[in-house]
Structure 1
Amino acid sequence: MNKYLFTALVFLLAFSSIQAQEIAQLTLNESILYAIENNVTTKNARLETFISKATVKETTAQGLPQINGTFNLDYNPLIPVVFLPNQPPFGDPSNPSEVIPARFGVNYSSGLGVNMTQMIFDGSFFVGLRAAKTLTQLTNFDLVKAENDVIENVKKAYFGVLVNQERIRLSESNLARVDSLLKEAKALNEAGFAEKIEVSRIQVQRNNTYSQVERSRTAWEISKEILKIQMGMPLTVDVLITETLEELNSSEEINQLLLREGEGRVELDQLKTTIELQQLDIRNNTSQYMPTIDFVGNIRRSGAGNELNTVFNKQNWFTSSLLGLSMNIPIFDGFSKSARIQKNKYALNQLENQRFYLSDAYQNEIFTAKSNLKNDLNILDVQRENLELAKEVFDIAKIKYQEGVGSNLEVIDADAALTEAEINYLAALYDGLISKVDLEKALGILKADLNN
């Protein structure tokens, strides 16, 4: 973790140095490290781990001595009346009433004391302490899960930016190609070797290609905004990707990925810890059938006087103290604890069923992810071959047109087929990248490289 924080700090400092230019040059790993530190999901998950640690301290404190100080200063405008029977030998025969009112007390009283309670035995305390520590483990797993989700989203967004950059490059190449055709057609038309309709056809194709370039640029800008949102980066900063698709997705790396076996999924760790918490809840409710024992003690100094200035005279103050044991024995609660225990057991059975299901589901997820990646790679190979063929067809159609043995309709159709082949290739490329990320997630190996 220290290495991770150091690496993130170095990157943040580097980012701060270029923030004045509002441009952030990013690699994939730098994007992930920044996102782990700044994405709101991981930030909140990290704060949750701090909350759980504070909960452990809070629970532990309940088993330590609880000491409280007290102070009071009371004034009795009218001293309370105590009624005594008007009977011999203290009765007053001259008083016809059956009772004699007597006032016991003084106008002012004060006290200063310290009370202490120390738990000796409470079964639910020890279970609660264990549960608090288990909760800390769960929040740590939740943090790992949050980081994995952020890594997955950042990778997909990052690849989206790269694919859109490639789309722009191909679209601009297409536009340059059509512009060259349009220039040639205009020259032929001016020389009387081509009809005006041939120029118009290519102009239509040029307009369509220009629209494709603009759509590609818009998609690129949108994909960069999505990446910044996933990273938690300010939208005012521009993003510059410094890697290529070939650098990030070598054939050797993909083949090794297809051969890997699944590692431990953090979701299973989360579920296992949740089951432990449910078991501890059962123990907690069961322990409440047992008595609780506390040690109590207090010491108090009390004083009084008829005048306020005499209340705090030393001779009017006296000390008292108490030491004892307090035991609370549960006898009957209307079967509420029994009902809670039954609820806990049913909930535990649900979690056990879920664990059994997830174990098989994750194996199927790995199988599905590998199958999808293999299929996408096959489609990508087909689309790459199709792209090469479309380029070859266009080159031939262009040569035939230039030599006067072909029509510009053939050239336009070949150009449209080439553009479609490029779009299909990029779509297959993006699908393959997403499948690669899905397989990494299924294998449980989504993580940032903290050494770079």
Structure 2
Amino acid sequence: MTIRIYTTCFLVFFGIIGNAQQVLTTDEAVKLALEHNYGIKIANNTVEVAENNSGILNSGYLPTVTGNAGATLDIQNSEGQRIEGPAVLAEGVETRRYNASVNLNYTLFDGLGRLYNYKRLKEEYQLSELEARETIETTMLQLFSIYYSVAQLSENTDALEETLIISKDRLTRVGYQFDYGQNTKLDVLNAEVDINNDSIDLINIEQQLRNTKRDLNFVLGNQIIENYNVDTTLNFLFQLNKEDLLEKTKQNNVSLLQAEKNINISQFDIKTNKAQFLPTIGLVGSYGWNESATDNPLAFIVQSTTSGLSAGVNLSWNLFDGGSTLTRDKNTKIILENQKLLKEQLVLDVERNFNNSWDDYQNRLIIYQVQENNIKTALNNFERTEEKFKIGQVTSIEFRLAQLNLLNAELSRNQAKYDAKLAELTVLQLSGELLNVDF
């Protein structure tokens, strides 16, 4: 049985064991992250706060209604002289007063300040949605970066396990050759050293794999309890078109959309400040009830009750406030100008980043294809060297070199494979399409 057959049996055996573990797909990972990632939860709560702030209850369009009630008790001594008759002395006279009222205040006109503030709150709500979307996109990139790191480390672990099996078989073979006097003890020692090095490499990468799985579980809100594997199958979106994506970038990039919302908010700030130059007209109304009772013998009326409605209109006009409103108006105009400049700069920055990311993506796809071809060459070289090693036509050192060339080719292929996928995701994120594709 050849080394390849041993290796195949080994991988099949461990593959059966691995299949017993949970396989976490990208779709499942995305779902868990959207539901349990703490950053996304906080972002969603922030959106909910902004939504509450943008509602009619926070608009200033509704009237305010207040209720007041009170009761007082007076105890006094009184002395009075009537026109006819002796003086009257009243001690400990109680006087009781009760009152209750409902008051209404409503702003009829405030220079349209409420309208612009209400629209501003709507823009802030939409801005918070964009900020939440940015958080989700950033979290998704982080998720896939770690997920594909786990996938890469998993494939690297398989490659190192296969290398260790080959090294052990080589030690057995050179041991037999040494016993029959076909080589020296140095070949045996070299094989033992290589096994130790391969074992150390395998131990290190297994630890790195465990740590990276914990990192992935953290992004998922610690929802994966049992040990798990990830899907190492990748599908590239080769149908992506640069011009289409660039146009989508200009329309849907989350940073550009946020910049546009900030411009709108600044424009409403200017209108709100201008509204403060105009008068405010308000409506007031109340319904009141009052009752007074006393046992004072000197009083002409010992009990009285009044109730009724009252209404009025008031006008308030801030004719001069020392110039603070005028200063705010000037500053908001400058802020608006800065927001427009920032957007213009951001457009150039986003286009540059997109072009760089697109070129990086294309280059990494080419590198991946080259590494795939390199695997075929390295494997062919290893298999030929293996056959010659069995019949003694190449040395143990030459066989080891071919083995390492194959291992390095596999590790480089794995690196190129996942680098290309992450580059693709970066392009999708810049174009605003990251959350619209299936993985």
- Closer, same or farther in 2 for the Cα pair 1:357/1:162, shift >3 Å? same
Aligned pair partner of 1:230 in 203, 219, 222: 219
Structure 1 residue 338: Cα displacement? 1.3
Structure 1 residue 160: Cα displacement? 1.4
What residue is the counterpart of 2:238 in the other structure? Answer: 254
Aligned partners of 2:429 and 2:309: how far apart in 1?
A: 65
Structure 1 residue 203: Cα displacement? 1.0
- Which runs of 5 or more residues in structure 1 are unaligned? 1-21, 80-104
Aligned partners of 1:237 and 1:109: how far apart in 2?
A: 74
Residue 447 of structure 1 aligns to a residue whose secondary structure is helix
- Closer, same or farther in 2 for the Cα pair 1:304/1:259, shift >3 Å? closer
Alignment partner of 1:388 is 2:376: yes
1:254 partner letter: F
Alignment partner of 1:316 is 2:314: no
**Cα contact 1:108–1:307 (8 A) shared by 2:** no
1:330-379 per-position Cα deviation (integer Å, ceiling 9, x unaligned): 01111111111122112111111111122222222221112111221222
**Cα contact 1:265–1:444 (8 A) shared by 2:** yes
- Closer, same or farther in 2 for the Cα pair 1:340/1:449, shift >3 Å? same
Aligned partners of 1:106 and 1:56: how far apart in 2?
A: 53
**Cα contact 1:106–1:304 (8 A) shared by 2:** no
Aligned partners of 2:197 and 2:436: how far apart in 1?
A: 41
Residue 176 of structure 1 aligns to a residue whose secondary structure is helix
**Cα contact 2:76–2:94 (8 A) shared by 1:** no
1:376-417 per-position Cα deviation (integer Å, ceiling 9, x unaligned): 122223333333333333333333332223221212222233
Residue 319 of structure 2 aligns to a residue whose secondary structure is coil
**Cα contact 1:297–1:324 (8 A) shared by 2:** yes
Residue 285 of structure 1 aligns to a residue whose secondary structure is helix
Residue 286 of structure 2 aligns to a residue whose secondary structure is strand
Q: What fraction of aligned residue pairs are identical, expressed as a percent?
A: 20
Alignment partner of 1:367 is 2:365: no
Q: Which moved more, 1:388-397 or 1:45-54?
A: 388-397
Structure 1 residue 285: Cα displacement? 0.9
Aligned partners of 1:179 and 1:323: how far apart in 2?
A: 99
- Closer, same or farther in 2 for the Cα pair 1:179/1:75, shift >3 Å? same
**Cα contact 1:293–1:327 (8 A) shared by 2:** yes
1:166 partner letter: E
**Cα contact 1:52–1:139 (8 A) shared by 2:** yes
Aligned partners of 1:268 and 1:61: how far apart in 2?
A: 28
Structure 1 residue 135: Cα displacement? 1.8
Residue 245 of structure 2 aligns to a residue whose secondary structure is coil
The 5 A counterparts of 1:88-237 are: 107-122=95-110, 123-234=112-223, 236-237=225-226
Q: TM-score, length-normalised on structure 1?
A: 0.80
Alignment partner of 1:435 is 2:423: yes
- Closer, same or farther in 2 for the Cα pair 1:439/1:131, shift >3 Å? same
1:70-91 per-position Cα deviation (integer Å, ceiling 9, x unaligned): 1111234679xxxxxxxxxxxx
- Closer, same or farther in 2 for the Cα pair 1:350/1:180, shift >3 Å? same
- Closer, same or farther in 2 for the Cα pair 1:209/1:236, shift >3 Å? same
Alignment partner of 1:340 is 2:324: no
Structure 1 residue 232: Cα displacement? 2.2
- Closer, same or farther in 2 for the Cα pair 1:177/1:184, shift >3 Å? same
- Which runs of 5 or more residues in structure 2 are unaligned? 1-19, 78-92
- Closer, same or farther in 2 for the Cα pair 1:412/1:77, shift >3 Å? farther
- Closer, same or farther in 2 for the Cα pair 1:406/1:314, shift >3 Å? farther
Q: TM-score, length-normalised on structure 2?
A: 0.83
